[in-house]
Amino acid sequence: MATILERRELTPVTKLFVVRAPLVARNARPGQFVIVRVDEHGERVPISLTDFDPEAGTVTLVVQEVGKTSGLICRLEEGEEMLDLAGPLGQPAPLPDTGHAVLVGGGFGAGAVHPIARELRRRGVRVTSIVGARTAELLILRELLEPESDEYLPCTDDGSLGFKGFTAQLLGQMLDEGAGFTVCYAIGPMAMMRAVAETTRPYRVKTLVSLDPIMLDGTGMCGACRVSIGGETKFACVDGPFFEAHAVDFDQAVVRSKMYVDEERLAVELAAAGR
Amino acid sequence: MPIVYPTKIEMPALDPVERRETWDEVAVGYTVERALAEARRCVQCQDPVCEQGCPVGVPIRAFVRRVALGDFEGAAALIRTKNVLPAICGRVCPVEHQCEARCSVRGRFDPVGVGRLERFVADWERANRANGGAPAVAPRPEKIAIVGSGPAGLTAASDLVQLGYQVTVYEALHAIGGVLRYGIPEFRLPKAIVDEDVERLRALGVDFETNVIIGKTVTIDELLGDLGYAAVFVGTGAGSPKFMNVPGENLKGVYSANEYLTRVNLMRAYSFPEYDTPVKRPTRAAVIGAGDTAMDAARVSIRLGAKETHVVYRRTQAEMGARAEDFKRCGEEGAIFDWLTAPVRFLGDDNGCVRAMECIRMELGEPDESGRRRPVPVEGSEFTMEANLVVIALGTNPNPLIPLTTEGLETNAHGCVVVDPETGRTSREGVYAGGDIATGAATVILAMGAGRRAATAIDEYVRSRAAAAA
Ligand SMILES: Cc1cc2nc3c(=O)[nH]c(=O)nc-3n(C[C@H](O)[C@H](O)[C@H](O)COP(=O)(O)OP(=O)(O)OC[C@H]3O[C@@H](n4cnc5c(N)ncnc54)[C@H](O)[C@@H]3O)c2cc1C
Ligand SMILES: Cc1cc2nc3c(=O)[nH]c(=O)nc-3n(C[C@H](O)[C@H](O)[C@H](O)COP(=O)(O)OP(=O)(O)OC[C@H]3O[C@@H](n4cnc5c(N)ncnc54)[C@H](O)[C@@H]3O)c2cc1C
Ligand code: SF4
Ligand code: SF4
Ligand code: FES
């Protein structure tokens, strides 16, 4: 069981949790995730590590409510427990020791890029962070990511803060203008990661995306999380979650992520009706 | 020589039609009268050859005699000297290849129902709460870590705690039991039985730590170093599912057996939406393979409401790996067996859901490395089989995580950890392994036997180190 030490409301649908998990914090690396289960009837859902502190024995999770389980997590309070929390899972993001990295974050990804930024800077890599949201109030975790970035560039769809438009559009503009990015990391909604992949492709910038297929065990035992990378099937939970964006079969990933839409809708409806 | 009833005393079972509607255990178990009658079929051989067929050497003749005399407590005590999970083994052992295969009355008559009797005794013991705690032992200071909570790990834990060690079992999932928990369905092995066995170990002092993935959360080197364990037993099983690498395999509705069974058993998706994890409910299911896993997947499909369930296997019934009893029950419940048939690709609909598979017929050719006749495709025999849910049950490989994160741990070409079969000793000092991680996918009782041998070897190792240090 993992006790929630701190809970913060980042947006009406996005919550941040600092959770006690000393063993996970001890060996966690940037880019890894955990599997959380809320209660005895709960699903196992993967959540990225937005931060981890081995000394304090804590990990930080940012959860965006998109369905039943994420909703249940978001409603947990300080002092309550997450029944199960297992990790760190997945391969750490492969990180260079030199160059100029551009990090693109949307949704919960605005937090999940944070440990990558921190480690890259520690290694002496220059970091540009591009973070997107619909509007200024929904832009999250600036206070966490900005200090770990050499350059922090917010984007909003409505132009209420920073660049007006999508993150991939700003990225494209910067690449056009000759930004010398040597590597790109993108974490966020599939559509955003796909747009980033298409944007960097002509510039041949090495691009890594954190794929978020449906998972079950998260330990390589089931294959629910399989993704096609360059025509080869990989298990995202053990081979990923980071993959070379230009080799990802996004069409398949999108289709597979919709496997349980009917069931997901039913679960939300029943939950709303107070089942 | 007493008169032997030619056939085994029947084991009551739920009606096949009724079964399609329930997850309750199918085989109901012997009554006292039936158990007495079956036990009396044993002729108490001078040389009990049946015992050579049991991988852990259960004293079969003696326990069956106790049953025949009505001394069930005595029978239970005898079984427990060799087998710590008799209620489980009595249900899932492939007895026709093990103890019962050797029974001397076999041939002329049905063999003695050793598995059924073992189950009866274990169930009687559970119901009557006999044989409570184990005798108190002098505690030893050393800590032993067990990695994985399948039958291999549970057996090693049981033996080591009873030798006085401080035993911690680390399990990657949120529940204890390995395949017993996530793989074998409720209707064949009620989870209440696994729970009780786990509780018994807890009462003996075994500490269970779930959600710990050794190699990720903590490494073997950390266990032996900072964390101060004197030895480690690796019983992580063979959990990595094999796929076929044919077109369409990633369509929605194509599952590995592990995923399908884990959703249903571990996560209780059959009770969705009461439980949050969903599973697709088939109307026409196809299961590829013909081992225990395939039978379980087919029987799960039937219970999830499939109107038609096919078991598709590229060889014949003679080569299948499933236990005889489960094959029979699977057929009774309405599964259709398509022998000498293999899928070549999966076909999807506009939404990316599987709707059919293209299959090809096979014939048996020359024997291959396994000694079985190799299936060869019959040219031009392609046909399409409709299915809106496909389960691939072609076996599993050892999970590479521990070998990848443990320097100096030797593995073979199949990814199995190399061990001395007598002791479970690996290439790393203080690290022992057994069960499916060492043998590749095998059986519950073989895993238990390996756990037991490793526990003995670990005890010797720790004692000799303690003696050397003194
Ligand atoms: C490696 C990884 C890291 C992730 N990190 C985060 C994070 O830091 N914060 C966050 O809010 N979300 C994260 N997610 C996504 C999160 O796991 C899903 O949003 C969550 O499982 C949805 O569950 P639900 O019941 O609320 O929604 P549902 O109604 O079940 O589904 C809504 C959406 O979530 C996806 N989804 C459903 N079940 C799963 C599952 N078991 N595993 C993965 N996706 C699923 C579906 O494709 C669907 O599009 C991550 C996913 C992965 C794979
Ligand atoms: C569906 C199915 C049906 C079967 N039916 C039968 C049957 O009827 N009769 C029979 O005799 N055999 C049967 N078998 C085979 C039998 O279940 C296995 O041979 C046996 O369970 C192997 O035991 P084990 O202890 O080696 O490993 P497992 O039972 O596989 O347990 C290994 C455990 O280790 C955990 N683990 C893995 N990696 C790590 C890690 N890094 N850190 C921590 N924990 C980890 C896993 O989560 C798992 O819980 C069946 C198998 C399946 C899949
Ligand atoms: S443990 Fe299995 S093989 Fe041994 S006697 Fe019991 S049923 Fe037979
Ligand atoms: S071989 Fe058969 S008849 Fe003989 S002791 Fe064993 S179970 Fe009894
Ligand atoms: S989630 Fe099961 S193998 Fe990746």
- Closest-CA residue of chain B to A260: B278
pLDDT, tens digit, for every residue of B103-118? 999 888 999 999 999 9
Pick from A221, A74, A71, A270: nearest CA to B272: A270
Q: Whose CA is nearest to atom 3 of ligand 4?
A: B42
pLDDT for the residue A258? 92
Ligand 5 centroid from CA B254, angstroms: 14
Residue ranges of the alpha helices (H) in B264-321?
292-303
Mean pLDDT taken over chain B:
93
CB contact under 8 A, A222 and B256: yes
In our burial notation (b when 16+ CB lie closer than 10 A, e otherwise), range A153-169 reads: bbbbeeeebbbebbbbb
Confidence of residue B137 (pLDDT cuts 50, 70, 90): confident
Q: Report CA torsion sign: B170, B174, B179, B181.
A: positive
- How far CA B328 is from CA of B296, B324, B325, in Å, comes to 12, 6, 5
Amino acid sitting at position B265:
N
Q: Which of A214, A225, A263 to mutate to test the interface with B (most CBs of B within 10 A)?
A: A263
Nearest CA in chain A to B280: A260
Contact (CB, 8 A) for B342 and B245: no
Residue A95 pLDDT > 60, yes or no?
yes
Task: Indicate whether residue A233 lines ligand 5 (CB < 6 A).
Answer: no
Count A/B contacts: CB-CB distance under 8 Å: 114
Q: What backbone phi and psi angles, to 5 degrees, belong to A242? A: -85, 130
Is the Cβ–Cβ distance between B438 and B412 less than 8 Å? no
Report the 10 Å Cβ neighbour count for B31. 12
A270 lines ligand 5 (CB under 6 A): no
B216 in A contact zone (CB under 8 Å): yes
Q: Which of A263-272, B273-282, B440-449 bottoms out in mean pLDDT, i.e. has the lowest? A: A263-272
The pLDDT score that the predictor gives to residue B3 is: 59
Angle between helices B32-39 and B114-128 (to 10 degrees): 140
Contact partners, residue A193, CB within 8 Å, separation at least 6: A186, A187, A209, A210, A211, A245, A250
Question: What does the alpha-carbon distance between residue A89 and residue A92 come to, in Å, rounded to a whole number?
Answer: 8
Average pLDDT, chain A: 94
Which of B212, B213, B244 to mutate to probe the A interface, most A CBs <10 Å? B213
Q: How far is A13 from chain B (nearest CA, A)?
A: 20
Measure in Å the smallest separation between the Cα of A88 and chain B Cα atoms.
6
Q: Inter-chain contact B211–A86, Cβ cutoff 8 Å?
A: yes
Distance between Cα B256 and ligand 3 center (Å)? 29
Q: What are phi and psi of A60, to 5 degrees?
A: -115, 130
> Could you tell me which chain B residue has the CA closest to the CA of A255?
B352
Local structure of residue A201 (DSSP, 8 states): G
- Asked if A238 and B211 come within 8 Å (Cβ–Cβ), the reply is no
Using a CB-CB cut-off of 8 Å, the residues of chain A touching B404 are none
B24 touching chain A per CB within 8 A: no
Terminal Cα distance for chain A, rounded = 25
pTM of the complete model? 0.94
Residue nearest to atom 1 of ligand 4 (CA): B103
**DSSP conformation letters of A79-140:** T-EESEEEEEESPPPP--SSSEEEEEEETTHHHHTHHHHHHHHHTT-EEEEEEEESSGGG--
Q: Which residues of A177-194 are buried (b: 16+ CB within 10 A; e: fewer)?
A: eeeebebbbbbbbbebbb
At A81 the pLDDT is 94
B213 touches chain A (CB under 8 A): yes
Residue-wise pLDDT tens digits, A169-209: 999 999 999 898 999 999 999 999 999 999 999 999 999 99
| Closest CA relative to residue A207, chosen from A227, A188, A191, A185 | A185
Mutate to test the interface with A, among B181, B214, B216, B388 (most CBs of A within 10 A): B216
Per-residue pLDDT tens over the stretch A140-176: 999 999 999 999 999 999 999 999 999 999 999 999 9
pLDDT at B135: 63
Q: Taking residues A219-242, report their average pLDDT.
A: 95
Q: Does residue A43 have its Cβ closer than 6 Å to ligand 5?
A: no
| Percentage of residues of chain A with pLDDT beyond 70 | 99
Point out the ligand 1 atom lying closest to the alpha carbon of residue A240: 1
Is B181 close to ligand 4, i.e. is its CB under 6 Å away? Answer: no
Predicted ipTM of the assembly: 0.94
To the nearest 10 degrees (0 to 180), the angle between helices A190-200 and A250-257 is 180
> What tens digit of pLDDT does each residue of A167-178 get?
999 999 999 998
Ligand (nearest to CA of B111): 4
Written as six digits, the tokens of A59 are 């990990």
Phi–psi pair at B121, nearest 5 degrees: -60, -45
DSSP H or E segment with residue B77: helix B72-80
Q: Which residue of A has its CA nearest to B214?
A: A87
Are the CB atoms for A208 and A243 separated by under 8 Å?
A: yes
pLDDT above 80 for B131? no
| Residue in the block written with tokens 């005798």 | B135
Cα separation, B296 vs B303, in Å, equals 11
pLDDT digits (tens, 9 = 90+) for A122-146: 999 999 999 999 999 999 999 999 9
- Measure the CA–CA gap between B395 and B51, rounded to whole angstroms: 29
Contacting residues of A for B274, CB less than 8 Å apart: 41
**Which strand ranges, in their side-by-side order, compose the sheet holding A14-20?**
A51-53, A58-64, A14-20, A2-11, A81-82
Ligand 1: centre distance to CA A39 (Å): 17
**Least CB–CB distance from B240: residue in A43, A221, A228:** A221
Q: Is pLDDT above 70 for A69?
A: yes
Judge whether B239 is closer than 8 Å to chain A, CB to CB.
Answer: yes
Q: Ligand 4 within 6 A of B390 CB?
A: no
pLDDT at A274 > cutoff 90: no
Judge whether residue B5 has pLDDT over 90: no
Q: CA B156, B162, B164, B166 torsion: positive or negative?
A: positive
Label each residue of B425-465 as H, E or C: ECCCCCEEECCHHHHCCCCHHHHHHHHHHHHHHHHHHHHHH
With vertex at residue B192, the alpha carbon angle to CA B190 and CA B197, rounded to the nearest 5 degrees, is: 110
Mean pLDDT of B352-363: 96
Shortest CA gap A92–chain B (Å): 11
Tell which residue, B285, B292, B280, B261, has the closest CA to residue B334: B285
Proportion of chain B above pLDDT 70, given as a percent: 98
Instruction: Dihedral sign for Cα A6, A10, A11, A15, please.
Output: negative
Statement: residue B333 has pLDDT above 60:
yes
Nearest-CA distance A94 → chain B (Å) = 16
* pLDDT above 90: percentage of residues in chain B: 85
Do B250 and A87 lie within an 8 Å CB cutoff? Answer: no
Q: How confident is the model at residue A275 (pLDDT cuts 50, 70, 90)?
A: low
In this predicted structure, the answer to whether residue A262 has a pLDDT above a threshold of 60 is yes
Q: What secondary structure letter does DSSP report for B89?
A: H
Mutation target for B interface from A24, A221, A259: give the one with most B CBs within 10 A.
Answer: A221
What's the pLDDT at B7? 87
What is the pLDDT confidence band of residue B1, given thresholds at 50, 70 and 90?
very low
Among chain A residues, CA nearest to B245: A233
